[in-house]
């Protein structure tokens, strides 16, 4: 075990927890597993985090932040609508698979774990804010027309969470989901 400053040890423990979360899921984060992977004593985890639930919740929020940052970096050259579709699509690429796995588990665990419930809520709010900002940018550039970007963001997220569950039975492919997203973004004009 190497001597690290308090903030360095905290980051080490958190980074190991993030790695476990991404590769094995939230439930796989245990004090013993994190201690073994970080080559530290279990007690050090409890010196930096008040509970393993707190560590799990912070890791969940950090992963969400990382995925949203990665999305922003990857979609810089895309149109506004493409950015929005990529941000809400439940089966888009490796990041989408990671997010689906983590959020589905977080949703399940949130019914019995207050720390996970709060982290799930925080992550969902961050996702909503990110999508609402993309919609605002599209409205400002004339690519979309909506009076309430925040409401549209929630509708898109709700739609895609539903499609995420349905995608498990392979009834919907990416193009079908994209068509439904586009229908919300550009509803048909009626007289």
The reported pLDDT for the residue numbered 137 is 94
pLDDT in tens, the chain (191 residues): 566 687 889 999 999 999 999 999 999 999 999 999 999 999 999 999 999 999 999 999 999 899 888 888 888 888 998 888 888 875 556 676 777 788 889 989 999 999 999 999 998 899 899 999 999 999 999 888 888 999 999 988 888 777 766 666 666 666 777 787 787 777 554 44
Measured distance CA(146)–CA(13) in Å, rounded: 44
Phi, psi of 51 (to 5 degrees): -160, 165
Is-contact 35 12, C-beta < 8 A?
no
Is-contact 96 89, C-beta < 8 A?
yes
Angle between helices 52-74 and 6-24 (to 10 degrees): 70
Domains of the chain (ranges, CATH numbers): 53-185 (1.10.357.10)
The reported pLDDT for the residue numbered 35 is 95
Nearest-CA neighbor of 127 among 93, 166, 178, 86?
86
The reported pLDDT for the residue numbered 165 is 65
The reported pLDDT for the residue numbered 147 is 87
Measured distance CA(162)–CA(160) in Å, rounded: 5
The reported pLDDT for the residue numbered 168 is 62
Measured distance CA(54)–CA(158) in Å, rounded: 27
Measured distance CA(87)–CA(152) in Å, rounded: 13
Nearest-CA neighbor of 57 among 101, 118, 8?
118
The reported pLDDT for the residue numbered 190 is 46
Query: How many alpha carbons fall within 13 Å on the CB side of residue 16?
Result: 19
């Amino acid at each position: 075990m190497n001597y690290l400053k308090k903030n360095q040890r905290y980051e080490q423990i958190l980074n190991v927890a993030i790695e476990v979360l991404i590769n094995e899921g939230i439930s796989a984060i245990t004090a013993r597993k994190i201690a073994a992977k970080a080559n530290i004593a279990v007690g050090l985890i409890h010196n930096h985090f008040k509970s393993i639930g707190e560590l799990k919740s912070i890791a969940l929020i950090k992963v969400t932040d990382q995925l949203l940052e990665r999305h922003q970096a990857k979609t810089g050259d895309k149109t506004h609508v493409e950015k929005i579709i990529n941000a809400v699509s439940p089966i888009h690429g490796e990041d989408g698979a990671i997010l689906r796995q983590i959020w589905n588990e977080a949703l399940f665990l949130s019914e019995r774990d207050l720390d996970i419930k709060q982290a799930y809520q925080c992550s969902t709010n961050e996702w909503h804010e990110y999508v609402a900002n993309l919609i605002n940018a599209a409205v400002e550039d004339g690519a979309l027309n909506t009076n309430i970007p925040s409401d549209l963001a929630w509708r898109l997220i709700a739609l895609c969470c539903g499609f995420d569950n349905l995608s498990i039975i392979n009834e919907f492919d990416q193009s079908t989901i994209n068509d439904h997203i586009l229908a919300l973004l550009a509803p048909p004009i009626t007289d």
